[in-house]
A and B are shown apart, each in its own frame.
Chain A
Amino acid sequence: MVLLPHTYQSAEYAPRLAVRLGAAYVASVSSATLDAGGVLSFSRAILQARLRAEVRPKRRLVVATVQIGAFGGHDPVELPERVFEVGRPADVERHREREILGREAAGAGGVDLPGAERIVTAGRGVGGPDEVSVAADLASALDAELGASRPVVDNGWLPREHQVGSSGHIVAPNLYVALGVSGSIQHLMGMSGSRVIVAVNRDPEAPIFSVAHYGIVADLHDVAPALTRLLLARRPG
């Protein structure tokens, strides 16, 4: 079995490795079990984390990528140190069919999500560019930064520097309020380390509720303004 982290770099080449090795391939697993008969199976989220599937490799050799954060950090085990020297293929330099030209920041900056104590995130459920203000108002009442889920950024409702998730910012604030965020795996990876997580969503089956400490099953357009009003009323002066 070959295990790799499910990062944006390794998950790009891992399926190619499986083909080259004649191995089975299972991506972004969150757990693995070996039954008494020695049969291995992997658990992974499907249909945008609405369901889980148990997947069994049918080949002796398996390449699997592991969802980041799926396993708790154990104390490092002292392993016998064996270093294998792997030679670089001689034709690597001559054969440049794929060349890295450089790296660049994806957004313009100006939003400090990683440093924020509190974050209010607008999800697709806010409904449109003109309705993002419902999240912005609550953020301002909470002295929080404004975050966005991927669909909100992809639709151009908020700029990319607001994006929370594995392709945006990984955050772990004291308080994280998700408004109308369904909770894709990528989003959960970016915020599940937050100390207190609040989710407001009309869909009781939304995966965001699986990580929320407080879940409100209701329309965010009713609840968020009510929260904003209460918070502003409490402010001294």
Chain B
Amino acid sequence: MRIGVCIKQVPDTDSHLRIADSGREIDDSDLNWVISSCDLCALEEGLLLAEAQVSRGEERPELVVFSLGPPRVEEALRKALALGADRAVHLAGEALQGGDALADGCALAAALAKVHCDLVLTGAQSDDLGQAATPAVIAEILGVPYAWLVMAVELDSRKQSVRVVRELEGGMNEVLRLDLPAVLAIQAGINKPRFASLRGTLQSRRKPLHREDCSGVDAGLVGAAGAGTETESVSLPPAGAGGVVIEGVSAEAAAEELLAHLEREAAL
């Protein structure tokens, strides 16, 4: 059995974000790059599924991690290898850059199909663009069932289907059965991602990391050419709702001032 995990490298959300001079993207000269938080949960879930198979006396599934992007994403892939993935595929090359979820999903689907994964795991949404679209696009192109916001995963004993719990609004969950192969988009909170051990980090240097240029895919479907959208501009959100801001005073003074406002608002 083989499990594919797709990860995205995103700016650390605690980074100070500046808009680039072009006005179309953020200035990436001074950012920390990390693996998107839900994608780390997807990788952790893949590792837990593999370990569960081993503890049942079965063969350990192979865990292959995929990421699309410029050369810096190899750092994210190395980290995934240090956490326990067996090998990594970097979807690299000029032709793959500048895509949106449709184009990137198309490239990832092609790379996943080449490797024949029984189960594909991704995060539910990225911490940067947060469209929650790429995993659904992958499932559609591969022609396999899909579940979003997955909170629990259980493989059946014959590894032909998977039972998942997914979130709905308002504190409800839905229980589903999906035939394999399937794509599951993992929600934050399903598990607590582990930290890389020193041994894992040392081992990761010897694990295989391949580059894949998706040259078999129609060039019009991937990268900027395959994108269905383009970003015209990015900007700071409109300033607050005209609210009262209390700052630069002591905690006691801020508390006094707030309570006076709340009393006037009859909110106490």
Contact = CB atoms under 8 A, between A and B. Distances in A.
B215 interface: no
Contact of A195 (B247, B267, B268): B267
Tell me the dominant secondary structure on chain A's binding face.
Answer: mixed
A231 B259 CA distance: 9
Nearest to B225: A58
Contacts of A27: 130-133
Contact of B229 (A14, A26, A169): A26
Contacts of B13: 47-48, 50
B1 to A, nearest CB: 18
Instruction: Classify chain B's interface size.
Output: 35 or more
Given A175-B262, A198-B258, A56 B179 contact: no
B9 to A, nearest CB: 14
B186 interface: no
A103 B173 contact: yes
Interface in A21-73: 23-28, 41, 45-59, 62
A103 B171 CA distance: 11
Contacts of B208: none
B173 A46 contact: no
Contact of A100 (B167, B176, B192, B227): B176
Given A24-B228, A45-B130, A217-B248, 7 more contacts: A15-B131, A15-B137, A27-B130, A98-B179, A174-B267, A213-B241, A227-B255
Q: Report, nearest first, the 9 A-B pairs whose CB atoms are least far apart.
A: A24-B228, A154-B189, A222-B251, A15-B136, A226-B255, A217-B247, A27-B131, A98-B145, A15-B133
A217 B179 CA distance: 50
15 contacts: A18-B102, A45-B130, A51-B26, A54-B233, A54-B235, A97-B179, A98-B179, A100-B174, A118-B267, A167-B171, A168-B170, A169-B170, A198-B258, A212-B243, A214-B246
Contacts of A41: 232
B131 A28 contact: yes
Interface in A155-182: 155, 160-161, 163, 166-170, 174-175
B252 interface: yes
A100 B175 contact: yes
A15 B244 contact: no
Given A19-B137, A101-B163, A195-B267, A51 B236 contact: yes
A52 B19 CA distance: 11
Nearest to A217: B247
